[in-house]
């Protein structure tokens, strides 16, 4: 079993349960940047009612084991539910509940459907601009590299830089944006 298998299971569960979702992490990044390996599937779910998470988890249950505890993620400031493939526990899914953060809410509202070659199906993902803003906001080394790569692959001239600057200003990350832009190679 592979991480792609798990990602497809999650997307299918969201479709079956009619849950609005947004794939984030390496799968969303791979649509706009340079695909990279990952061992987890990160998905934001619109939790309009408490049963949403439980319905998606129930759909995944035959292949995925979830812990009983909801975790509070210190990077995203949201609740997450972590599940591991039963036959390959080093591959996991993190289901994040959509929460009341102005950027996260706008990012979710702006999500688009894009074809993911890695999964051979369309996914709902953040826009390229929102991927850049989120990666710069998180500011881990790999996130800053991802932001740089998305800027390079997509082309600064094609992205809505005013939107990116607005949110980086809101998050106090303008210096990180400037440093990232300075590292964008010419492709």
**The domain spanning residue 57 has which CATH number?**
3.30.460.40
What range does the domain containing 152 cover?
A: 131-182
pLDDT tens readout for residues 141-184: 999 999 999 999 999 999 999 999 999 999 999 999 999 999 99
45 beta partners: 21, 97
Q: Do 32 and 95 fall within a single domain?
A: yes
Q: Do 10 and 101 fall within a single domain?
A: yes
Q: Do 141 and 172 fall within a single domain?
A: yes
Strands (E) in the chain, as ranges, are 21-24, 40-45, 64-66, 71-72, 79-85, 92-97, 112-116, 121-125
> For residue 41, is it within any domain?
yes
> For residue 121, is it within any domain?
yes
pLDDT tens readout for residues 41-78: 999 999 888 788 899 999 999 999 997 756 555 555 56
How many domains, the chain?
2
Query: What's the pTM?
Result: 0.90
Residue 107 and residue 110: Cα distance in Å, rounded? 5
> For residue 187, is it within any domain?
no
Contact 131, 32 (CB under 8 A): yes
Last residue of a domain, one of 109, 126, 143: 126
Q: Do 62 and 116 fall within a single domain?
A: yes
Contact 136, 144 (CB under 8 A): yes
């Amino acid at each position: 079993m592979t991480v792609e298998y798990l990602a497809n299971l999650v997307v299918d569960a969201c479709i079956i349960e009619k849950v609005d979702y947004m794939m984030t992490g390496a799968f969303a990044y791979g649509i706009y940047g340079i695909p990279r390996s990952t061992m987890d599937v990160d998905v934001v779910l619109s939790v309009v009612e408490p049963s949403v998470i439980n319905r998606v988890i129930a759909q995944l249950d035959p292949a995925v084991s979830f812990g009983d505890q909801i975790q509070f993620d210190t990077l995203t400031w949201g609740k997450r539910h972590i599940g591991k493939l039963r036959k390959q526990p080093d591959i996991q899914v993190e289901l994040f509940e959509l929460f009341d953060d102005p950027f996260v809410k706008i990012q979710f509202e702006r999500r688009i459907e894009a074809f993911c070659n890695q999964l051979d199906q369309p996914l709902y993902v953040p826009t390229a601009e929102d991927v850049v803003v989120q990666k710069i906001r998180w500011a881990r080394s790999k996130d800053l590299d991802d932001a740089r790569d998305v800027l390079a692959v997509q082309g600064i001239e094609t992205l809505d830089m005013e939107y990116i600057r607005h949110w980086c200003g809101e998050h106090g990350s303008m210096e990180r944006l400037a440093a990232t832009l300075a590292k964008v190679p010419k492709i």
